[in-house]
Amino acid sequence: MSETSYLLVVLSMGVVTYVPRWFPLFFLAQRRLPMWLIEWLDLIPAAILSALIFPDLFTANDPRQLELFQIKSLVAVPTLLFSLKTKSLGGTVVVGMSLYWVAGKLMG
Amino acid sequence: MTIDLVVHCSKVHVYDGWCETASREGDHSPKNRSEGLLHSGDRCLAVVTGSKCEFLGLMECVRVNTRIRFILLEGLRTSWPICMGYFPIGLAFGVLGQKAGLNPFQIGMMSLLVFAGSSQFIAVSMLSSGAEVMSIAMTTFVINLRHFLMSSSLVVYLQQAGWKFLSAFAYGITDESFAVNMTRFRANEWGKYRALAVNQWANAAWVASTVIGGMGGEFIPAGSFGIDYALSAMFIALLVFQLRGRIYVMTALLAGVLAVALALLIPGNSYVVLASLLAATAGFALKKYAQKKKGIHV
């Protein structure tokens, strides 16, 4: 593939990725948001985080299949407990990584 | 408690207990109302700390000299789990790109212009199979549409920011930076420039790791020290921070179950947006219903 057509691919990808990131910031920032919208948006982060994590932990393969018990999901349990107990982001990351590493050595 | 900036109190806009925007004493033009305009030695009337605006009487700004360094350091301290988590993924992307015939410069260019991991992986595999520009762009658009929701959610904390700042900030909104910044904003301990610093540190880590991968990252052993789990663990902790009441727990559980079900049914990653929208709407309806029924707050 030529340099120019690669550049075209990357530029078009950049534009279509940037616009959805920019649009709500640009058009909503100067407006007073209605209370119901703020309350609804308040629930979005918890929902998005869950929607990102659960499939990552409980599915595997391509096409995806349900895989409730795999190293990822088993390690998630002590990681979650540690996080609930300590509320520490850095600590949770280190503990999760260590457990995953050890579990991989033991089970893999 | 950290001092964020020293400001003229009458110009401080308080939004949900969070102070934003400032101006130098005597400087009342609206376009100059931003954090960055204070200089050392300016005479100011108040300080904005993490969550409140305190009146301290006329005083000199002394923190300003170290502001940029302070902001960058705070950003780094907050974003290191993202940066670490990006490395194995970035290396893998670089290796994939190299195998598809891209040089490190081309790989870095994509990471810089697009900055969205999963869509980059898919684009490279589409490129290798000879896909058209149009279909790559369409696929990328659909995959990255979820940022629309994140951006809408962040806007609550970025009211009053100028269009230049917002345009720069928008570039760095990813799943990871969104989750980290949202948590800090929520805790009333965050400022927009530190949020931008988080975005840009993550961006630097992403670009660097993909370029390194493109230069021969397959020599770095995969799976070292469980680094592949860094982002999963980070998301678990960030989810925990979001669970500040029953309604959040219920919304999160519903979103998780829906996401798994949808992920199994539909290929691609539209499950993120669909599950989040449905769960947040259901959670909102439930909250309103409970408030109406019992007159209590959930």
pLDDT in tens, B240-256: 988 989 999 999 999 99
pLDDT averaged over 10-residue windows placed end to end, chain A, 108 residues? 88 97 91 87 92 94 91 96 92 93 87
Does residue A105 belong to the interface with chain B, where contact is any CB pair within 8 Å?
Answer: no
Cα distance from B6 to chain A (closest Cα, Å)?
Answer: 23
Q: Are residues A86 and A54 in the same domain?
A: no
Answer yes or no: are the C-beta atoms of B34 and B4 closer than 8 Å.
no
Does residue B114 belong to the interface with chain A, where contact is any CB pair within 8 Å?
Answer: yes
Q: What is the structure's pLDDT at B222?
A: 65
Q: What is the structure's pLDDT at B296?
A: 60
Mark which residues 181-240 of B lie under 8 Å from A by CB. 182-183, 186, 223, 225-230, 232-240
Does residue A81 belong to the interface with chain B, where contact is any CB pair within 8 Å?
Answer: no
Does residue B265 belong to the interface with chain A, where contact is any CB pair within 8 Å?
Answer: no
Closest residue on chain A to B148 (Cα): A20
Tell me: pLDDT of B226 over 70: yes
Q: Are residues A47 and A75 in the same domain?
A: no
Q: Are residues A52 and A22 in the same domain?
A: no
Preceding amide of A63 cis, omega within 30: yes
Tell me how far apart the alpha carbons of residues B41 and B294 are, in angstroms, rounded to a whole number.
55
More confident residue, B96 or B42: B96
Does residue B15 belong to the interface with chain A, where contact is any CB pair within 8 Å?
Answer: no
Q: What is the structure's pLDDT at B297?
A: 56
Does residue A5 belong to the interface with chain B, where contact is any CB pair within 8 Å?
Answer: yes
Q: What is the structure's pLDDT at A95?
A: 95
Q: What is the structure's pLDDT at B292?
A: 87
Does residue A67 belong to the interface with chain B, where contact is any CB pair within 8 Å?
Answer: no
Tell me how far apart the alpha carbons of residues B199 and B151 are, in angstroms, rounded to a whole number.
13
Does residue B6 belong to the interface with chain A, where contact is any CB pair within 8 Å?
Answer: no
Tell me how far apart the alpha carbons of residues B135 and A104 are, in angstroms, rounded to a whole number.
38
Question: Which whole number is the average pLDDT over B24-46?
Answer: 39
Cα distance from B98 to chain A (closest Cα, Å)?
Answer: 14
Q: What is the extent of the structural domain holding A63? A: 32-67
CB–CB contacts below 8 A, A to B: 283
Q: What is the structure's pLDDT at B67?
A: 64
Q: What is the structure's pLDDT at B223?
A: 67
| C-beta atoms of B226 and A104 within 8 A | yes
Least confident of B45-49, B106-110, B234-238: B45-49
Answer yes or no: are the C-beta atoms of B149 and B271 closer than 8 Å.
no
Q: Are residues A106 and A73 in the same domain?
A: yes
Q: What is the structure's pLDDT at B253?
A: 97
Instruction: Using pLDDT thresholds of 50, 70 and 90, give the confidence band for residue B20.
Output: very low
Most confident of B209-213, B266-270, B293-297: B209-213
Least confident of A56-70, B22-36, B84-98: B22-36
Using alpha carbons, select from B207, B214, B193, B164 the residue that is nearest to residue B78.
B193
Q: Are residues A10 and A26 in the same domain?
A: yes
Compute the half-sphere exposure of residue B133: CA atoms within 13 Å on the CB side of its CA.
Answer: 15
CA distances from B291 to A40, B242, B247, B294 (A): 14, 21, 12, 6
Q: What is the structure's pLDDT at B295?
A: 67
Cα distance from B56 to chain A (closest Cα, Å)?
Answer: 29
pLDDT in tens, B108-140: 999 999 999 889 988 998 888 888 899 899 889
Tell me: pLDDT of B193 over 70: yes
Most confident of B83-92, B118-127, B167-176: B167-176
Complex ipTM value:
0.91
More confident residue, B226 or A17: A17
Question: Which whole number is the average pLDDT over B281-290?
Answer: 95
Partner residue facing B161 (CB), from A9, A29, A63: A29
| C-beta atoms of B236 and A72 within 8 A | no
pLDDT in tens, B200-221: 999 999 999 999 999 986 666 6
Tally the domains of chain A.
3
Instruction: Using pLDDT thresholds of 50, 70 and 90, give the confidence band for residue B6.
Output: very low
Tell me: pLDDT of B141 over 70: yes
SS3 B5: strand
Q: Are residues A54 and A76 in the same domain?
A: no
Does residue B139 belong to the interface with chain A, where contact is any CB pair within 8 Å?
Answer: no
Best interface-test mutation with A: which of B34, B76, B240, B251 has the largest number of A CBs within 10 A? Answer: B240
Which residues of A are less than 8 Å from B153 in CB distance?
Answer: 41, 44-45, 48
Q: Are residues A36 and A53 in the same domain?
A: yes
Compute the half-sphere exposure of residue B91: CA atoms within 13 Å on the CB side of its CA.
Answer: 16
B52's tokens? 């409140």
Q: Are residues A22 and A36 in the same domain?
A: no
Q: Are residues A53 and A77 in the same domain?
A: no
A7's tokens? 């550049």
Tell me: pLDDT of B189 over 90: no
Q: Render the burial of A69-78: b for 16+ CB within 10 Å, e for the rest.
A: eebbbbbbee
Instruction: Using pLDDT thresholds of 50, 70 and 90, give the confidence band for residue B45.
Output: very low
Region for residue B283 given its phi and psi (left: phi exceeds 0; alpha: psi -120 to 50; beta: otherwise): alpha
Q: Domain segments of chain B: what residues?
A: 3-62, 68-242, 244-298
